[in-house]
Structure 1
């Protein structure tokens, strides 16, 4: 982002107004607020009450987060679906990774505000051929989400790579690696540093078939490849990685119910090293352990989501979801299996164009290892909301919310301290979270 500012500063001042008006767009998602736990007084800002630690199961207790996006139109922007365009997009994200407030920029804390570059890519469209799109860089390469669970599902392939799309067909090649995972790093001499490193290549094909009435079907296929990397020791022993692979296949149906209402249903299967998806992870977040050969031959996963929104005129909206993730590794042990699920519903009563009453109920479960009992939790939230931009829609922003959430944990969740909230406050079968939050996007 600093490079982009330097580029702007190099432009003569007389040209700034024209550049900003004609070529530059700035958008942003953000949330910021306050939080208390009435019964313990512990600091819980951003400490999720959900069993997986993600926002699946309710997102009201999410911490501060800022995500501005800068889009520069390299070609002058013209209206029309077939108008040629070349855009540069950059999205830095800022969040307090240790639960502190986003307003704290000081190094007085061991883990202050974190800044990451989520997107930096160039996209070209309709240049050689109408409907042809080409992109390269790092981007949010994903589709729809369950917003009330802050969960991009089915085809969340956000990462670094490049792709080409024409009409309903979308192809991409992505790269994935890690500095810490033993799946990508091998310490040959035991000195604590990685002597062998490798990367995963992910080949993606997607196709969207549109039907009359706004309905559509979406097909997804992925192929993952991890190459072998071997090294010979002085005694002739060969160590390192064996090559492995995996694949994903999925289908998603979108039903347009009119008046802004819809129902989305998806199922995705992942095999071998592409069995990721647990707790909202991506397909390359491989679950479980390898077999004795270091391979994920029998690893597998299933992810299923049903998400719908129904608007009852201008008086009430109901948004609900059901999410299931099942996965197993390749070690052939009872413990090398996991299951998590969540069902939730948020109702919004439009008391006034500017006053909405939001209520939410969720039930979730987590079995992190196949031989352990399933931990469960129930959450109930009430959130009076002021909406300064008049609108009777669940998508109208900004929101100014005051909310209270009560969570009820079973004995297995309490014993395992399954949620970050419990890890902070301590074992308790009932939890309280009182907060105020501003959320905006534009």
Structure 2
């Protein structure tokens, strides 16, 4: 098989070639002959590794042991991933933070849904996904000092819990634009979805696909954020969102009936506090409430993703979601660091009631998922660290483990080599060898809730204990 014979690999080759050409041009062209010289920044997050299941011998690379449906509960089993980013300074960069700037940013990402990742024939036909996550322009300090404007598609979000791989509180990554002036941040984000059904599309002729005569609409999200900074590095952050889905209807030619989607809306309010504890230590606490069509609150979900099901009118007027997070890092001198989190999601769906004709509504009920975990990192030397992790997680939702609470306890030990050195949790790259043991309760074991359990189970046999032996390199620069 040649490289060009597989479309996905061909696309990957073209993306990588583009990055290489830009990097070479930036590094080799004289300043007076190229815009790229001294104006290009290339950064990347990436991870690659392999894994074994000592008990079954099954292929488990990238199969999470978590029951939450996300990385909440620990991320070390995540699959291979590459995310290069290119930033081009259209104005010459300056060390003066008040100087005008105009930046263009583009961020592709690459990951496989199954199989090994990077080799030219490693995937053997398995789907390799290449996505464009960011492409936007930002300009600042031009019309007014401290005034910034941006437009395009970007990671419009704030802090994350790295060991649980979740951006929380204000994860509104999407396509749109915004204005930032000092502590005030305003934006308009668009959200759509493809395929028939759901909140965004209506299949007028009922053929199961979207045709030219079918209806599509988009969600418009208005966002306002304000960060009030205090002395000693503390800050308070307020968040408000308004989601609007307009009515979209058409008269069907076959029978003259007016069909389509009714208008819907939702709103979000949130508050977050950041406490600077000195020496790189901090504690972040946040809570967020989302209503109606903005009720997305479950592991890894954004507020865009309404919880539960729509009522008989196709709107989410009963839905609500709450997210609460506490995340802290404490550095004990230069010998040991402790990073820990507690995350809770609660969602309410369609309640049991009757519609205008007296027909009963669909009962969806409530759902909940949570995770608490900690990573301790002991620094034997600048280059040799020892990581230990403990996570406890659970999910209770209709359709998962017969609606019972499914839980998992995960324990990990990970000797780590840090070639560039540093006594900090953020030093990279990491070369890790790690072993994780997972212990599932009866509901999770019988329900085979996690992807790992589904892979290693023999003909539906319950999986009470899981073993994951892996090695990985993780980097960012």
Please, which of 54, 60, 67 is the counterpart of residue 44 of structure 1? 60
> What secondary structure sits across from 2:403 in the alignment?
coil
Alpha-carbon distance in 2 for matches of 1:269, 1:108? 42
Instruction: Label 1:4 to 1:375 Cα distance change in 2 as closer, same or farther (>3 A).
Output: closer
User: Is residue 2:229 matched to residue 1:200?
Assistant: no
Question: Which one has the bigger strand percentage?
Answer: 1
Classify the secondary structure of the residue corresponding to 1:415: helix
1:364 correspondence with 2:393: yes
1:414 match: secondary structure:
helix
Name the count of aligned residue pairs: 440
1:31 to 26, 30, 47: 47
Give the one of 385, 407, 410 matched to 2:438. Answer: 407
Deviations 1:103-151 (A, max 9, x none): 2444963433211000000000111111010000000100000011111
Aligned pair in 2 of structure 1 residues 146, 7: CA closer, same or farther (>3 Å)? closer
Counterpart in the other structure of 1:299: 319
Q: 1:109 aligns with which of 124, 127, 143?
A: 124
Distance 2:249 2:60 in 1: 46
Partner of 1:346: 375
| Alignment equivalent of 2:290, drawn from 247, 250, 270 | 270
Query: Who is 1:309 aligned against?
Result: 329
Query: Is structure 2 residue 94 aligned with structure 1 residue 65?
Result: no
CA displacement 1:216-244 (0-9 Å, x = unmatched): 00000000001111122243322110000
Give 3-state SS (helix, strand or coil) of 2:232's partner. helix
Q: Tell me how far 1:424 sits from its aligned partner.
A: 1.0
Q: Secondary structure at the match of 1:30?
A: strand
Task: From the superposition, tell whether residues 105 and 115 of structure 1 become closer, same or farther in structure 2 (CA, over 3 Å).
Answer: farther
What residue in structure 1 maps to residue 203 of structure 2?
187
1:137 to 145, 152, 159: 152
1:378 maps to which of 405, 409, 434: 409
For residues 315 and 288 of structure 1, the distance between their equivalents in structure 2, rounded to whole angstroms, comes to 47
Selected match of 1:252 from 263, 272, 278: 272
Compute the RMSD of aligned alpha carbons. Answer: 2.0
Q: How far apart, CA to CA, are the structure 2 residues paired with 1:9 and 1:256? A: 41
**Matches of 1:60 and 1:8 in 2, distance apart?**
31
CA–CA distance in 2 between the matches of 1:52 and 1:215?
Answer: 32
User: Which residue matches 2:101?
Assistant: 85
TM-score, with normalisation over the residues of structure 1?
A: 0.95
1:323 aligns with 2:343: yes
After superposition, residues 427-438 of structure 1 pair within 5 angstroms as: 427-438=462-473
Contact 2:351 2:364 survives alignment (8 Å)? no
Contact 1:398 1:440 in 2 (8 A): yes
Structure 1 226/6 Cα, relative in aligned 2: closer, same or farther at 3 Å? farther
Name the CA distance, whole Å, in 2 between partners of 1:266 and 1:130.
Answer: 30
The answer to whether the Cα contact below 8 Å between 1:292 and 1:331 also exists between their aligned partners in 2 is no
The structure-2 alpha-carbon separation of the partners of 1:429 and 1:136, relative to structure 1 and needing over 3 Å to count, comes to: same
* 2:228 aligned residue: 209
CA distance in 2, matches of 1:62, 1:236: 51
Q: CA separation in 1, counterparts of 2:25 and 2:434? A: 47
CA distance in 1, matches of 2:152, 2:85: 15
What TM-score does the superposition give when structure 2 sets the normalisation length?
A: 0.88
Q: Displacement, 1:3?
A: 7.5
C-alpha deviation, 1:20, in angstroms: 4.2
Could you tell me which residue of structure 2 aligns to residue 219 of structure 1?
A: 238
Counterpart check, 1:390 vs 2:421: yes
**Is the 1:67–1:94 Cα contact (8 Å) retained in structure 2?**
yes
Matched ranges for 1:229-240 at <5 A: 229-233=248-252, 234-240=254-260
SS of equivalent residue, structure 1 residue 280:
coil
**Are residues 283 and 14 of structure 1, via their aligned partners in 2, closer, same or farther at CA, if it must alter by over 3 Å?**
closer
Distance in structure 2 (CA, Å) of the matches to 1:244 and 1:4: 43
Following TM superposition, by how much is the alpha carbon of 1:6 offset from its aligned partner in structure 2, in angstroms? 8.2
Distance 1:23 1:250 in 2: 38
Unaligned runs of 5+ in 1: none
What is aligned with 1:425?
A: 456
The DSSP-based 3-state class of the residue aligned with 2:225 is strand
Query: Is residue 138–residue 160 contact of structure 1 (8 Å, CA) maintained in 2?
Result: yes
